[in-house]
Amino acid sequence: MRVDKWIWAVRMVKSRTLAGDCCKRGKVEINGRKAKPAAAIKIGDIVTVDNGSVWKKYKVTGFIPKRVSAELAAKNYEDLTPAAPDEPTHQKLPRTKYWGQRMKGEGRPTKKDWRDIDRAKNQYED
């Protein structure tokens, strides 16, 4: 089976065109070698796909002739991608400590926030 058709059928990319483009740009490897869109794959091959900033590694366990649901598609590959290391959880610091910065998504400061900011500024200026 063609590699571009397989990565499209098992839902690694959204369209067959994108699958071919990924192969042409060198973002798909079969057993460690760059693959062209028409490269043949067989059961047991290791297919590596660049999904943005992460390389995903899959073992081919079956073929499907057309695109199917995610549950059925998952039966045709085995995910070999190593688990990402746990990122440290982001702890929210008190705003009075860093009065000049706000966390993303907090929106505009409230009246209480402004008072805390003013107190913090006065504390550091004295």
By the 10 Å C-beta count (0-12 exposed, 13-18 middle, 19+ buried), 21 is classed as middle
Alpha carbon distance 40, 36 (integer Å): 9
The hierarchical CATH code for the domain 3-79 is 3.10.290.10
Identify the residue with better confidence: 124 or 96.
124
Residue with tokens 């998504």: 105
Which 3 state secondary structure label does DSSP give 7? helix
- pTM exceeds 0.75 for this model: no
Which 3 state secondary structure label does DSSP give 79? strand
- Name the token pair of 83: 């688990």
Domain ranges of the chain: 3-79, 92-126
- pLDDT value, residue 97: 47
Tens-digit pLDDT profile for residues 11-63: 988 999 999 999 999 999 999 999 999 999 999 999 999 877 788 899 999 99
pLDDT at 93 over 80: no
What does the mean pLDDT of the chain come to?
Answer: 84
